[in-house]
Chains A and B, each alone.
Chain A
């Protein structure tokens, strides 16, 4: 037991110090010691990354540390995933998110913060970057079996693309497959309602809270 606790401590430290190599080594050690990979993932990686997300929300740490730690978690997760059963993998995963800044808009930072926070909250996130053509959101969502699409727009002018993607989903008859969340400086709850989005988030913290609430609903309905 003491060995297991020491390994969890190594995993936690690797996240807090954003040490990719140590995260991989600690995850390997957890598997070699016969630990339950799902329990190791939760205590060793998910918990400290959640703590960092909360610290970021309180501005006790800043974006670079959150991004680096989220990357470290991805590195360690790859090791643990090898040992997870399909059912355990599903249990560990809250949702698959395809996210990007809509076409015509190259603003990145807000979306990057959302990506880091969602990863730190346990979501599988496919970040399409900026200036993303609408069909690409749909193509990647279909390929990755995503259940959530997130769109960011910083400009009043490009915000209209959020509406267009919802229309496109409707046109293709796949609107109900996806939970669509929108954000960005000009977006509001009224805007989200008017275009038929499932949700609006003012910031990354709200996005996590909103998707977590959705995940709980999905789980309770299952």
Chain B
């Protein structure tokens, strides 16, 4: 079976290509041809795909793409190619279930089917928002205190320490990586969930080892996260991380963000790239595959094209493989606004009914520090649970109704600015303030009004 060593070797010995040629010849032209070959087209007005045959064709196209294009190694400028046997063997051996975390906080992460009635696993937390050092423990404690959040997600960027901005790979960045892990563990302890798993990474690859510590840092039971670079690219940092994670034995969480309007073309092309990236994640040894459907214009994931694209990719993967997959939810509206709720609910409906777990939510363009809300993550999880009781046709109808409410404010300049954590919570008690509770209730009412069984 294909090993990491073989992938690393191919990144040094595969065919040479410029980045431009890979993007145009290996991705853009091939995706365009596959889109035509498999008759993939976005039907405007469809937010959740209900066509099984289309999902299966998207899977075939994505599988063909990864076999034709391979992965591009940016630093060595070489293409890592795969053959059919390797792809099939790795897909057959893909992780279908694993346990993250420890003791009573351990969480079983499992694959879901299309219209699976089991609730999605919730990966929730600051999601790499800029979190100020003074609020790092409190904010993560508030997230860990939400019982519906299963795994604490990416506890936040520490952009500076003691008032000094952190330069990548500097001594300060190593100190930040250690404090990031230590403070995240402290937050779990303070929330009474010491065994809760943390999906984390040290931001800079060289600091991965510094942040790993069973007693005070990231543990072997904590999934480690990294991204495949758009489109279908890896670099030395990716492979460095992967080498370490595999040796450590931690679960591996890999994200991919195919870009609608970029080299993949429109939503159908991006769906093909999304499927190919999921398969690539399995080839790299990933245990959870995260899709972050991006959009060149809106830079978020709740526009009509991204909703549809996400549903197609998730259904293609759920129907044709044993992969565990999740979808990140990035919105135009920011926490503290009703639009934030409407947007994350629409995407949750689209992908939960399509076989995905949930990651997020977060605003695409946070305004300053700590622009995230644990209470909104609770509502996100509640929406995910409600969505798991629906079929795709119902989800499509409700997602469409929600989309109609926010579609005119997708532009990040027009989207509600929201509030930082400190203005939505009492930071002494870590409880939402009256205004934030009122927003939560208003959001639930709006969602019930369009038919979501909350």
Contacts and interface: CB of A to CB of B under 8 A. Distances in A.
A57 B413 CA distance: 16
A157 B170 CA distance: 11
A106 interface: yes
B108 interface: no
A157 B166 contact: yes
Interface in A63-113: 63-64, 67-68, 104, 106-109, 112-113
Given A157-B203, A157-B204, A203-B299, A59 B263 contact: no
B374 interface: no
B203 to A, nearest CB: 6
B451 interface: no
Interface in A43-65: 56-57, 59, 62-64
A198 interface: no
B166 A64 contact: no
A106 B74 CA distance: 8
Given A106-B229, A107-B229, A57 B204 contact: no
A101 B288 CA distance: 30
A85 B157 CA distance: 53
Contact of B296 (A113, A130, A188): A113
B261 A63 contact: yes
Nearest to A62: B265
B263 A157 contact: no
A162 to B, nearest CB: 12
B24 interface: yes
B220 interface: no
Interface in A156-211: 156-158, 160, 185-186, 188, 202-203
A91 to B, nearest CB: 30
Interface size class of A (residues with CB under 8 A): 20 to 34
B159 interface: yes
Given A63-B262, A106-B74, A109-B230, A158 B299 contact: no
A64 B296 contact: no
A202 B364 CA distance: 12
Most A-side CB within 10 Å, residue of B29, B157, B262: B262
Contacts of B260: 59
Interface in B374-416: 412-413
A201 to B, nearest CB: 12
B422 interface: no
Contacts of A158: 168
Contact of A185 (B229, B266, B269, B299): B299
Contacts of B269: 62
B157 A202 contact: no
A104 B168 contact: yes
Contact of A64 (B28, B203, B229): B28
B12 interface: no
Given A106-B235, A157-B204, A113 B168 contact: no
B165 interface: yes
Given A59-B261, A106-B229, A109-B259, A67 B24 contact: yes
B262 A109 contact: yes
Interface string B216-260: 000000000000011100010000000000000000000000011
A154 to B, nearest CB: 10
B296 A202 contact: no
B413 A63 contact: no
Given A109-B230, A156-B159, A63 B204 contact: no
Interface string B252-282: 0000000111111110010000000000000
Interface size class of B (residues with CB under 8 A): 35 or more
Main secondary structure of the interface of A (DSSP, over half): loop
A182 B130 CA distance: 19
Interface string B72-91: 00100000000000000000
A109 B262 CA distance: 7
Given A64-B24, A64-B32, A64-B265, A59 B168 contact: no
B19 interface: yes
Contacts of A57: 297
A117 to B, nearest CB: 11
Nearest to A127: B20
A202 B412 contact: yes
A99 B266 CA distance: 26
B167 interface: yes
Nearest to A109: B262
Nearest to B173: A157
Nearest to A58: B297
Nearest to B235: A106
A210 to B, nearest CB: 14
Contacts of B29: 64
Contact of B263 (A63, A104, A202): A63
A195 to B, nearest CB: 11
A211 B104 CA distance: 57
Most B-side CB within 10 Å, residue of A68, A157, A160, A203: A157
Contacts of B413: 202
B273 to A, nearest CB: 12
B57 to A, nearest CB: 20
B266 A62 contact: yes
A208 B296 CA distance: 15
Nearest to B157: A156
A158 to B, nearest CB: 6
B297 A59 contact: yes
Given A113-B296, A157-B166, A157-B203, A62 B24 contact: no
Interface of B: 19, 23-24, 28-29, 32, 74, 130, 157, 159, 165-169, 173, 203-204, 229-231, 235, 259-266, 269, 296-297, 299, 365, 367, 412-413
10 contacts: A63-B265, A108-B19, A130-B19, A156-B130, A156-B157, A156-B159, A157-B166, A157-B168, A157-B203, A188-B365
Given A129-B19, A160-B165, 8 more contacts: A57-B297, A63-B263, A64-B263, A106-B229, A106-B235, A109-B259, A130-B19, A188-B365
**3 closest Cβ pairs, A-B complex:** A64-B28, A62-B265, A157-B168
